[in-house]
Amino acid sequence: MILEVDKDDPQGPTSNRFTGERFEKALDITLASVAFRSSGQDLTTADSYIEMTSRLTEPLLLALAVQAVRNRVKR
């Protein structure tokens, strides 16, 4: 069974809708509201990415430090 649709593809202002600037803003808003609680300061783009990276790596480094102490105490 073959389904054929007689309608053309929708034409619209998709080039204005999907831009890098809009994607970056959407990503920033989503991460700030869900994963990262923003500090409330006005940061540059680079500073906000540095803050996000540090918030991701801090728990990892803390877990590694706890594991190192645990292994040291075990011996």
Q: What is the pLDDT of residue 35?
A: 59
Q: Quick check: helix, strand or coil at residue 9?
A: coil
Tell whether the torsion through CA atoms of 63, 65, 69 and 71 is positive or negative.
Answer: positive
> Could you tell me how many residues make up the chain?
75
Q: Are 31 and 52 in contact (CB under 8 A)?
A: yes
Q: What is the pLDDT of residue 47?
A: 84
Show pLDDT as tens, one digit a residue, over the chain (75 residues). 777 777 776 666 666 677 888 888 888 777 766 655 666 677 788 887 888 788 788 889 999 999 999 998 976
How crowded is the C-beta side of 37, counted as CA atoms within 13 Å? 0
Q: What is the pLDDT of residue 20?
A: 83
